Structure 1
Amino acid sequence: MIIKFQKNIIEAVELKYHGNHQKHQSLEFQVFFNDHANNDFNTLFKNLHHNHNRKFFAAGVPGTFHCRLFPKSSLHFGHSSFALQWLSKTPSEVLDTKSPAWNKGSIHCTGYHTEVAEAYSSQFKNDMETFLNARAQELVNGGLLVIIMSALQDGVLLSQSSIGMTYDLLGPCLQNMAKSVRLQIPSL
């Protein structure tokens, strides 16, 4: 999927470039993949290695996308696909049992409680501002940033969506697994 998407982007850039320039020189592209430092990029790079016809050079850049990853004015095109919904941190209010925004141990924002939704919304706004400021510094003048992410229409609760229903089912399972692991770990 990732390779197909990048192939489409590269072909579109080549078409635009060749349409604007008389010389039809071949273009070279460098593609940066980003994920947290503890992610194992090996599977990605093994899949890229088998594709000898690719028109780009690949590199992995570890670190959070919520901050700067590249030098100023160094990127012509940025793309984020279904990643920005992951917050940089859990809002502290939803973890505090004394807070009106306490999320009662849920692993996501159901939307049932206004205070919980506001805490997540505030963190999302901060994260988006940080993300967009970082990309604004990294993109060259006239560069392009494409963001693809899911969203809900105002008034629709996450728990009414298919992903919300999945989280509602998955949450208690993950919490039970975490509890059983804690019970099996001997104290020091």
Structure 2
Amino acid sequence: MAADDTSNVFEAHPMEGGDGPNSYAKNSIVQRGVVDAAKELVKRAIVETLNIDILSSSNSFKIADLGCSVGPNTFYAVENMIEAVEFKYQSQGQNSQIPEFQVLFNDHASNDFNMLFISFPENKRYYAAGVPGSFYSRVFPNASIHLVHSSYAIHWLSRVPKEVLDKHSPAWNKGKIHYLNARDEVVRAYEAQYVEDMECFLHARAQEIVYGGLMVLIFPGRPNGSASSQAWANMSFQVLGSCLMDLVRKGVISEEKVDSSNMPIYSMTPQELEDAVKQNGCFSVEIMANLPHPLVDDTLSVPQLLASHLRTGVEGMVKKQFGEEILDELFDLYREKCEHDALNFLAVLGHNFIVVLRRKAD
């Protein structure tokens, strides 16, 4: 599947928009903690590996944030990167050559870009634009981007693997909404979708990023060689699936709707991403590291924090499949189940990674 084939149709599952009690803007403290945990590594990567000669004759340094959602986390990440680029110029005695910055905020067209735009910091030091479209295809012109950033986004697949929704397939995932503790055929279907998607992702970025440009990827996953249960998303969707089946037994929803509902998320290992990079061949791995456990200072209890974190990410999918009326009951059930295993959830919530790639010259 060619990454620049605009005929492809990608599933869009944006975070909950607006600024209401269940919105991403008010329930993304976990993601903010991960951005903070990566802050110094991102700065170091830019200062140590960015070649400012890539700017050539242009006086505009272009940064793209893929999967930007609605803020505020994207703004923190962008400011951190701009400070690092400025420091790079200053450290080489080129203070007067610091370029103007343009930041291109990318997400699906159904993302709440209005919320993003009205949330811009008043003192932002860059020109901004919203760029709708799936990052599994081309979204920018050829060789136009100097620095790509993406945090908590590339674990989302472009679509649910078709096989898991096909009643006649060995990979039909009956009674489940994800691949943890599912049949081997289900796991392989998710793995194959991930491999295909990363091939598209890297192929598209290889065309968009200038030679010598950098890409910073921050993602939740699981350690190399670990079981699938060592990923927060996998554990979380297993619990959410059990909550949905509880509602089936209560007669609130039908089992057929659960059978036809799967979450398009894959919890990769750093090694799987490195393998995809090697297969693509256009990037060198500059940094690959585990991130420190995010510090989450919040007034919510751990189970409530976990429930709010999940709800803001999947509410749209749940609402579309099962209806809005089950949302409160479903996530109350989820919170109650998390109370029995909160420490294990917190442990795997710390499995976050950073990979810094440099675009190689052909």
- The code of the aligned residue for 1:56 comes to Y
Q: 1:49-106: CA deviations, max 9, x gaps?
A: xx22111111111110100000100000011111111111111111112211111142
SS in structure 2 at match of 1:149: strand
SS in structure 2 at match of 1:64: coil
Q: Does residue 70 of structure 1 match 2:140?
A: yes
Q: Does residue 100 of structure 1 match 2:170?
A: yes
Aligned length: 178
Q: Does residue 133 of structure 1 match 2:203?
A: yes
Q: 1:161 to 1:131 in 2, by over 3 A?
A: closer
2:200 & 2:128 partners in 1: Cα distance? 26
Q: Does residue 169 of structure 1 match 2:234?
A: no
Contact 2:104 2:131 in 1 (8 A): yes
1:124 maps to which residue?
194
Q: Following TM superposition, by how much is the alpha carbon of 1:24 offset from its aligned partner in structure 2, in angstroms?
A: 2.1
Gaps of 5+ in 2: 1-72, 254-318, 325-362
Q: Does residue 38 of structure 1 match 2:110?
A: yes
Contact 1:95 1:105 in 2 (8 A): no
1:111 & 1:21 partners in 2: Cα distance? 56
- The code of the aligned residue for 1:2 comes to T
Q: Does residue 28 of structure 1 match 2:96?
A: no
Q: How does 1:148-167 map to 2 (within 5 A)?
A: 148-153=218-223, 154-158=225-229, 161-167=231-237
- The code of the aligned residue for 2:209 comes to L
- The code of the aligned residue for 2:119 comes to N
- The code of the aligned residue for 1:164 comes to N
SS in structure 2 at match of 1:24: helix
2:95 & 2:79 partners in 1: Cα distance? 22
Contact 1:83 1:149 in 2 (8 A): yes
Q: Following TM superposition, by how much is the alpha carbon of 1:164 offset from its aligned partner in structure 2, in angstroms?
A: 2.6
User: Over aligned residue pairs, what C-alpha RMSD do you find?
Assistant: 2.2
Q: 1:92-140: CA deviations, max 9, x gaps?
A: 1111122111111422221432111111001100000100010000000
- Match for 2:88 among 2, 6, 16? 16
1:75 & 1:124 partners in 2: Cα distance? 24
Contact 1:94 1:119 in 2 (8 A): yes
Q: Does residue 112 of structure 1 match 2:194?
A: no
Contact 1:73 1:137 in 2 (8 A): yes
Gaps of 5+ in 1: 182-188
TM-score (norm 2): 0.46
Q: Following TM superposition, by how much is the alpha carbon of 1:23 offset from its aligned partner in structure 2, in angstroms?
A: 4.8
Q: 1:2 to 1:23 in 2, by over 3 A?
A: closer
Percent identical residues:
48
Contact 1:37 1:63 in 2 (8 A): yes
TM-score (norm 1): 0.85
